[in-house]
Amino acid sequence: MSDVLRAPALGTWVKLSSPTTVEIMAYAGFDFVVVDLEHTLLDLGTTQTMISLARASGMLPLVRVPDHTASTIQRVLDAGAAGVLVPHVDTAEQAGAVARACRFPPHGTRGAGSTGPAGRWGRLSRAEYVRHGNDEVLCIPQLESGRAVREAGRIAAVPGVDAVFLGAADLAMDVGTSDVADLLAAVRAAARDAGAPVGSAAASASAARAALDAGDTFVVCSNDTSMLAAAAVDTVAAVRRASAASS
């Protein structure tokens, strides 16, 4: 299993279509990136380039797929992703189907494609390619509904599920905002009882620190678009203030 699930690790979402973003995040010191195919128009060709660049830059490349579709999961893993975050996994049965899509037989249903990036363009032996897919590829369901909260322990215990990811924003939309903190705490406890690491998203550095202090093993902090927008706003505001002060 990847070290990203064993020790406090910091990542960020990649939403912009330029692979340069990935290189910038590597230089910034992030441990991993999550290329977001759920809430962007990124295509698989660009995603593969980002995956390769992340690996070459020393970062772990994860991909959030748009849905549970096994063919999409397979293509992302064939592109060399270290693992997938899968949105809106609400039951242990759904988690089992997602996990099987990530694994080769007899543990799952993933088809072999060892001549692509995941097989180092055919340089890995079939045995090593299959071993890597079954032992090292990360399957991370996102729990983001009231039903998922109730099923959290069962989902976390599904064979082939390596961790769970807390989807606080969608959970708040599903159940309302008043109980979200308590529900997230319940999911954390259930996952840990099942022996599964927990990850979460944070909008700010302070929120990321709080999540790590709460025991989350990995946190996805902010995203490339928000960081660019914030820096742009701050730069313009600073120049305007300086200009006003000197006039």
d(CA 117, CA 32): 18
Contacts of 128 (CB under 8 A, 6+ apart): none
Per-residue model confidence (pLDDT) at position 2 = 64
Q: What is the pTM of this model?
A: 0.95
CA 180 to chain centre: 21
The first and second tokens of residue 121, run together, are 């363009």
Could you tell me the fold of the domain covering 3-246? Answer: TIM Barrel (3.20.20)
Q: Is the dihedral of CA 107, 110, 114, 120 positive or negative?
A: negative
Q: What is the pLDDT of residue 95?
A: 98
Instruction: Collect the ranges in the chain with pLDDT lower than 70.
Output: 1-4
pLDDT at 179: 85
pLDDT of amino acid 94: 98
- Residue with the two structure tokens 């064993």: 6
What's the pLDDT at 40?
A: 97
Cβ-contact 212, 223 below 8 angstroms? no
**Nearest of 141, 146, 135 to residue 198 by alpha carbon:** 141
Beta strands 9-14; 218-223: pairing state? parallel
Query: CA nearest 140: which of 81, 183, 92, 199?
Result: 199
* Active site positions, annotated: 39
In 3D, which of 168, 178, 170 has the Cα closest to residue 202? 168
Please give the C-alpha separations between residue 37 and each of 64, 144, 152, in angstroms, as whole numbers.
6, 17, 24
